[in-house]
Chain A
Amino acid sequence: MEKDYVFDLLNKAVDQGHKLGADFLEARYDDLQLTTINLTNDIIKQSSSINRKGIGVMAYYQGTPGYSFTPELSSEGVAEATKKAVKLAKSTDIRNKLKLDFDKIKPIKDHIEVKAKKHPKDYEFDDKLAMLKRGVSAIKEQVDATSTTGMYGEMYGEKFFINSEGSEIYWVPMIVDMRMVAVLISEGQQAMGAEGIGASKGLEHFDEKGRSPEDFGTIAGKDCKDSLNAVAAPTGKTTTLVSPQMGGVVVHESFGHLSEADFVVTGQSPIADRVGEQLGSEHVTIIDEGVPEQGGLFFPYDDQGTKTGKTVLVEDGILKGYLHNRGTAKKMNSELTGNCRAINFLYNPIVRMKNTYFGAGNLTFEEALEEVGTGIYAVDMSGGQVGLDGNFMFNCRKGYLIENGEITKPIKNSSLSGNILELLKYIKGATKDIEIRTGYFGGCGKNGQNGLPVGLGGPNVIMDQVLVGGAQ
């Protein structure tokens, strides 16, 4: 669709909203193309080509928001959505006691496109299927698996945003991802290996070192085979070295959500009103960032038109701040952080994370192993769950014993649990290098908006007092 036509539609929404009595409006249009291929046991279990597009209008009336959306990309459709958004804002104002209005800022005009060397739209379905077949072949070279799965996902498109300040933003999101999974069921036991990683890039991502389908398939197959001989992890409170991807999940799920200011302003977060407090050891720094130089998710603007930056949530163990939308930022007298995001046009933007990671430490990987001495190295997970009180439980599906400062044997699936606010006190150090990942599969869930792409990562982090549960 022509950019001028879209911006014209969105501008009409803003103009109409003002005429209907709204104080401020934001209007956005998403046009996203998503492709998924799931090759299980050499059969395409699922393949889909999804075109997802629509318009969302947020109206504010005396600090009360109302959101309406429509798939009808016409003047009439947008007019109806705008009318409904303003009506919602006005009619719910009577009940809204916690008004989160915000100060006006200088309008932003920006146009950002990611220059992918191998844009997925320029490649056929067959080309992507061929990559999966290469990965699955690599699995089969390693292990006689009960089942093999190769998954490919891509998302790209356009995002348009305007608001009452005159901001006009256009940017192009993009993610490609590939996963390889091998499962072996033998004598009532299940062994599994999985590998893969996404990026905010084109298909050139899979040309990089260690990122080819063969690389993913080889690791998945080898891990599956190795896990047949895995030993039970030591149970009880254990010193644990967590990998960048594992640490990224822990910090995102168990701490990051507590730092989202919508939970903070309503008092639901256990870290509300604790800025300046020493929450963790001096080795703990936690960052949320829109466009990290280390990779991860490319996310330059949030769905409120705020330019994303780098937010230090915890520095040297001290809580420095929270993640905000414009309303919570004003309410808490904070800088804008660009964390107002919606999973798609069907939803109003809420406070979400971007790329969340532990800050780097000063150890080499070998020094970190030596510091652990005896414990486990938790490399990857398959599922986890957290509570708003900081309690967490993650299933460590790939890990190793650390004995006398060296990685020795693979361990069976184990649960890692604890309370993040307790655990932060027992972080003993981190390595120097940071890796941040993103992906098409999985994603973050909150308030029914599930599968939002985020970035996760950090260095390898030494955590003491992690409760390791029995082998499964």
Chain B
Amino acid sequence: MSLDDLRNKILNIADTTIKHSRDLNIPSTEVFVLEQSTTNLTDNKGKVDSRDGLVQGIGIRVAVGKKLGFASCTGFDEETIKSTLKQAHSIANVSPENPMFNGFVAETKMSKEGILDPDIPHLDADDLIEKCNIMNQEVDLSDRRIISGSFGANIAYQGFAIATTEGCLASSLQTTFGANSYFVVTDAGDRKTAQDFVAARKVESVEGIAPKALNKAISSLGSKAFGGSEVLPTIWEPRESAPFLAFAFFNVFSGSAYVEKSNPWKEKLNEKVAVKELTVIDDGQKPDTEACQSIDAEGTPKQTTAIIEDGVLKTFLFNKMYGDAAGFSTTGNAQRGGIFGGTPYENIPVVGPNQMMIKEVAKNLEEQISEIDKGILITGTPIGLFTANPVTGDFSVTCNDTFLIEKGEKVHPLKSISIAGNYFETLNNIRFIGNDTEQSGWPIDAPSMTFLNHTISD
């Protein structure tokens, strides 16, 4: 099926479902239709698994005044869709009113789509094997320090459509390609892991991924204990500063948490929350990211939103319901979860970031390291990030992949350390924001960054 055919198919199903809704005298309905084709291949130390198939489903929200009901079904069987409409309607009828609800999206308006690769629908497992072969051939797995080498590749294409009885009929398409290499290495009782990957909206070269991951793992061997406890700067590689900041931002940027009064920044709008060098954008229109779509998950056109500008909090992120409730407009941040690998049609829209971007300033990673007298370089994602206290901002995490920095140079890798601090203080203790942004695999991309005053101990 071509991408155009896919778009026509899902729009037609969405429109037909709205017609069924009218036939059933349901006062107000929103239909979310998704179809996705996916093929995955993994090779874990020679053990190959493959999976492909068709994901189809519909999620239906019904409103009876301010009373809401939701039901979903798998597949596009017409009788099943009708019974799902009735189910959503019956739930709405017995639900209490939701005072925040102010109607579904009422018009068809779309922003631009991201990159679409017309070749992806025509690829299959043979093409993924070829990608794995390329990654495999670039590394020498006979090195006795390698316990395990894994390779994986995947392709998918999908479309979703939204229709409402109020008049919205819109759709968005995506194509994606991903590949990754992962290694487990050991030497003299030291055990390290590392991975590298590409995640793109079109098929890309996989050259260099495996050697980069393997070199990173091998270079982390020979770790030594930190020994003690000390307050030091931490320097984070781009792919590690991203998840570190993601957990700082999820709650404080949330418009739903703002409305529900659980957002610790609820009184901070237009106030300084970070150093003036920090600007954070939520970008739903960067064409090479997965988040780039013409509409969000309830039919609002996606947009680009400055959340923190020069250290000042400018807005929160909203979907339609929470935007209406807060007296703001939606920022096009409705999400249903489960995109790629999941079943978004089984979820109601919630608020979530698109692709957050940290505005680059200056200095790459090596330049930042060269200016630190003593500090810790973070090269792997710590565990425990999400245990941070969302109200106070306190965090305490452990990290297996770090290096000691002394007099501007990497000295040696460290055994597991804990890193503790406070997120809100950290945002005001940013020493450097780099200029070397990398794709992180998280809903935020960031350059390397250096933070002051983290407590390091082992």
Instruction: Identify the A interface with B (CB < 8 A).
Output: 34, 40-44, 46-54, 56, 64-73, 81, 84, 87-89, 91-98, 100, 124-126, 129, 146-147, 183, 185, 188-190, 262, 265-268, 270, 344, 346-348, 350, 382-389, 391-395, 413, 415, 417, 419, 448, 467, 469-470, 472
Contact = CB atoms under 8 A, between A and B. Distances in A.
Interface string B339-359: 001010011100000000000
B379 to A, nearest CB: 14
Contacts of B394: 470, 472
Interface in B57-101: 57, 68-75, 77, 80, 84, 87-88, 90-91, 94-96, 98-100
Nearest to B394: A472
B49 A348 contact: yes
B292 interface: no
Interface in B383-405: 383-392, 394-398, 400
Given A44-B68, A48-B347, A267-B184, A391 B416 contact: yes
A188 B341 CA distance: 38
B398 A393 contact: yes
Contacts of B80: 51
A73 B99 CA distance: 40
Nearest to A396: B387
Given A91-B129, A266-B148, A415-B396, A44 B262 contact: no
Contacts of B264: 188
A265 B348 CA distance: 40
A190 B94 contact: no
A54 B193 CA distance: 37
A232 B43 CA distance: 47
Given A54-B75, A385-B383, 7 more contacts: A46-B70, A50-B346, A96-B46, A265-B47, A383-B387, A391-B400, A395-B387
Range of interface residues on chain B? 35 or more
Contact of A268 (B148, B261, B387): B148
Contact of A385 (B48, B94, B341, B384): B384
A268 B184 contact: yes
Given A92-B50, A470-B394, A49 B386 contact: no
B94 A346 contact: no
> Which of B191, B348, B386, B391 has its CB near the most chain A CB atoms (within 10 A)?
B391
Contacts of A100: 47
Nearest to A413: B389
B260 interface: yes
B306 interface: no
A188 B386 CA distance: 19
A376 to B, nearest CB: 16
A472 B384 CA distance: 13
A212 B45 CA distance: 49
Given A84-B53, A393-B383, A448-B341, A49 B400 contact: no
Dominant secondary structure at the B interface: mixed
A267 B68 contact: no
A68 B389 CA distance: 42
Contacts of A124: 94
Contact of B389 (A48, A71, A472): A472
Given A48-B70, A268-B44, A188 B391 contact: yes
B125 interface: yes
B126 interface: yes
A49 B53 contact: no
A42 B125 contact: no
Contacts of B343: 52, 344, 346
B352 to A, nearest CB: 14
Contact of A262 (B41, B44, B74, B125): B44
| Residue in B48, B70, B386 with the greatest tally of chain A CB atoms within 10 Å | B48
Nearest to A94: B129
A367 to B, nearest CB: 32
Contacts of B46: 96-98, 266
A193 to B, nearest CB: 15
B398 A417 contact: yes
B132 interface: yes
Which has the most chain A C-beta neighbours within 10 Å: B133, B384, B385, B391? B384
Given A97-B46, A185-B262, A51 B383 contact: no
Contact of B54 (A50, A72, A350): A72
Given A51-B74, A346-B343, A383-B387, A44 B392 contact: no
11 contacts: A67-B50, A67-B52, A88-B50, A89-B50, A94-B129, A190-B389, A190-B390, A266-B46, A347-B51, A391-B400, A393-B397
A255 to B, nearest CB: 16
A42 B260 CA distance: 12
Nearest to A394: B387
B275 interface: no
A71 B51 contact: no
Nearest to B346: A50
Contact of B384 (A34, A68, A266, A393): A393
B56 interface: yes
A71 B262 contact: no
B383 A42 contact: no
Given A91-B125, A129-B94, A391-B398, A70 B53 contact: yes
Given A49-B87, A267-B148, A393-B397, A92 B125 contact: yes
B129 A92 contact: yes
Given A50-B71, A51-B80, A53-B74, A69 B398 contact: no
Contacts of B348: 46, 48
Nearest to A387: B383
A267 B45 CA distance: 8
A284 to B, nearest CB: 22
A395 B385 CA distance: 11
A190 B388 CA distance: 12
B420 interface: yes
Interface in B307-352: 341, 343, 346-348
B134 interface: no
Contact of A64 (B48, B91, B385, B392): B48
Contacts of B261: 146-147, 185
A47 B392 contact: no
A68 B100 contact: no
A46 B397 CA distance: 32
B55 interface: yes
A261 to B, nearest CB: 11
A64 B389 CA distance: 46
A415 B77 CA distance: 49
Nearest to B92: A47
A227 B400 CA distance: 32
B227 to A, nearest CB: 15
Interface in B103-156: 124-126, 129, 132-133, 147-148, 150
A69 B53 contact: yes
Q: Give 5 closest A-B pairs by Cβ, nearest first.
A: A97-B46, A69-B53, A393-B384, A71-B75, A98-B47
Given A48-B70, A391-B383, A413-B389, A92 B398 contact: no
B102 interface: no
A426 to B, nearest CB: 17
Contact of A40 (B147, B184, B260): B260
Contact of A43 (B52, B90, B99): B99
Contact of B262 (A51, A81, A146, A267): A146
B94 A44 contact: no
Nearest to A270: B191
Contact of B47 (A266, A344, A391, A419): A266
B294 to A, nearest CB: 25
Nearest to A72: B75
A338 B77 CA distance: 34
B147 A268 contact: yes
